[in-house]
Amino acid sequence: MSELRCGYVAVVGRPNVGKSTLVNHILGQKLAITSRKPQTTRQNMLGIKTEGNVQAIYVDTPGIHQNTVTALNNYMNRVAQQALRDVDVALFVVDRMRWTEEDELVFNRIKHLSCPLIVAVNKADRLEDKTQLLEHLQWLSEKMPNAEIVPISALHNQNLERLEQLVNQSLPVSPFYYAEEQITDRSSRYLAAELVREKITRQLGAELPYQATVEVEDFKYEGRILHIHALILVERDGQKKILIGEKGERIKRIGQEARKDMEVLFDSKVMLNLWVKVKGGWSDDERALRSLGYLD
């Protein structure tokens, strides 16, 4: 039997380049929440893939960004940075031809790492002019001469096999850190809260999702039915009204969509109850963030 390989792969990049979508497709199931809005991911989460003699532990991180206006923004940048400590492989996700100031910010955080660097150029399938892509890949290879550069489409599963091959061969020889059947380090309560937050983020306007968080207060099985009670915290009364919607229609729709995903994830019938509460200034209060589970 060949030697076991195991290690941590930090998936980093600016907001909204497809890091969580990539991790979900590699794992073959939905663990990390996704939306078109930047800064959807707020905390590091491990996605563990064990196949044959390899266990790759992907660390899905918040997007590293410049506008650190609240304690929550600072927290997200901090945990993304922490994921790079003692990591075995850095997987830098960038978006096609675009290279922004925030990409440069991420590059400056990773360029001194001693571990292998892989650059995944996401959404490459959307480029009609492949000549442009080749020129951009050449530019990236000159900027990061020690990196392996792979064009991919996370959403459409294109070239992910090649990407995983590069990751796996870069991992150190090591016994597995986790049981072979384990797929994440996060609790079921955490995953349930994140699914509710995903539906809020997908349905509401630009501002509100960033000032809403979800706390699961009750999570228990009664017979074959899983009962989940979740509290949605917002910062102002007006946000509470928007979230509930006319005659409670919006909160009902959020609950219905979250429940469907929960039933797939937990392989169980789910009864989901949602409440909305105003907690002013929670996103800029270090103590409130810690009490809500935003821990370094």
Binding site members for GTP: 13-20, 60-64, 122-125
Contacting residues for 166 by C-beta, under 8 A, at least 6 apart: 118, 148, 150
Name the phi and psi angles at 197, rounded to 5: -65, -35
Write the CA distances from 296 to 3, 28, 44, 63, 77, integer angstroms: 33, 28, 9, 16, 11
Among residues 130, 63, 55, 72, which one has the least CA distance to residue 100? 63
Neighbouring residues of 262: CB distance < 8 A, sequence distance ≥ 6: 192, 195, 226, 228, 270, 272
State residue 120 phi and psi, 5-degree precision. Answer: -100, 115
Of 84, 36, 85, residue with least CA distance to 64:
84
Side by side, which strands form the sheet with 225-234?
Answer: 213-222, 225-234, 269-278
The Cα angle at residue 75 between residues 188 and 164, in degrees rounded to 5 = 60
Specify the DSSP class assigned to residue 173. B
Q: List CB contacts of 164: < 8 A, sequence separation 6 or more.
A: 26, 56
Annotated binding-site ranges: 13-20, 60-64, 122-125
- For the chain, give the longest Cα–Cα distance: 62
